Structure 1
Amino acid sequence: MNRIALLATPLLALTLAACASTAPTQVAVQAPVVTAPVMNQPLVATPAQTTQQALLTTSVANGFVDAGALALMTAKDSAAANSAQFYALQFGRPGAPRAWAGDKGTTGTVAVGPYVRVNNLDCRDFTHTVKLNGQDYVKKGTACREQNGNWAVEQGA
């Protein structure tokens, strides 16, 4: 068996050398054009996109701030309060207030409780305090994160 391998190796080398020395014939071959069917698949949002969308749609105007304070807040106040409210609910440690500052001395804090699972939703108690024109406006409630990532105040909670 070893002898056959010793004799076959030089023969194989000669055969391959002969093939390499002949000039290749050029043949033009055009590849067929294949078009893929268009499929309408929904785009799946990344966690960062989901968080950004939820931040944009979680609004203090939807029950996160006392109505008396909300009527006096400027757009900058509301934007700062929205951001603080969302990030406190989303990432805040229980009991650690998240502060915000708006226009002309308007400030506020948002404190949240621990996550609680209710009807397959993540919920948290919150306390949002707004200091405006020397007066404190306090709103307490429970917010739950909906399937789309938005936080909504639970009515009657």
Structure 2
Amino acid sequence: MNRIALIAAPLLALTLAGCASTGPTQVAQAPVVMAPVTPQPLVASPAQTTQQALLTTSVANGFVDPAALAVMTAKDSAEANSAQFYALQFGRPGAPRQWAGDKGTTGTVAVGPYVRVNNLDCRDFTHTVKANGQDYVKKGTACREQNGNWAVVQGAA
């Protein structure tokens, strides 16, 4: 065992001495050549997908009573769109989501629980619009398509 220690100690010292630097070291760097970058298709993040679906889920597509649409302003429609989408996407069953637009126009969107139909998430909804002293109620069922959009699949006045 002593012989191994006598041989190992000098070898260890030589190994460590080889790692030590005694003078200034200069390193030359070769020029870097960049290869052309081929664009890869971008995969949308969940936030981008949500934003895109919000823009394409429109109250004009059966989520609101057509008579209410006739008296709603652009701001009313935008607020109703947002409330409709977020209620369908994230809302708790029975907890209405409220919105307010121009000139006292308001609304609420209430949704039911998620139901799986033909491999799609679907929910019943009730969208109430209060405009010019009158209530407009639209009930129906909406399903989330593969692209994230919500579409009315069944509606009743």
Same fold? TM cut 0.5: yes
Could you tell me which residue of structure 2 aligns to residue 59 of structure 1?
A: 58
Distance 1:79 1:9, change over 3 A: same
Shift of 1:37: 5.5
Equivalent position SS for 1:21: coil
Deviations along 1:128-153, whole A, 9 cap, x unmatched? 11111111111111111111111111
Shift of 1:24: 8.5
Identity, % of aligned positions: 90
Deviations along 1:81-107, whole A, 9 cap, x unmatched? 111101110111111111111111111
Equivalent position SS for 1:49: helix
Q: Count residues in correspondence.
A: 156
Q: Is the 8 A contact 2:142 2:154 kept in 1?
A: no
Distance 1:57 1:82 in 2: 9
Could you tell me which residue of structure 2 aligns to residue 17 of structure 1?
A: 17
Distance 1:9 1:80, change over 3 A: same
Distance 1:89 1:2, change over 3 A: same
Equivalent position SS for 1:77: helix
Unaligned runs of at least 5 residues, structure 1: none
Distance 2:23 2:97 in 1: 78
Structure 1 vs Structure 2 CA RMSD: 2.8
Q: TM-score normalised to the size of structure 1? A: 0.83
Shift of 1:13: 2.5
Distance 1:19 1:112 in 2: 70
Equivalent position SS for 1:154: strand
Q: TM-score normalised to the size of structure 2? A: 0.83
Shift of 1:78: 0.6
Unaligned runs of at least 5 residues, structure 2: none
Deviations along 1:35-71, whole A, 9 cap, x unmatched? 4463342211111221121112111111111111101
Shift of 1:5: 3.0
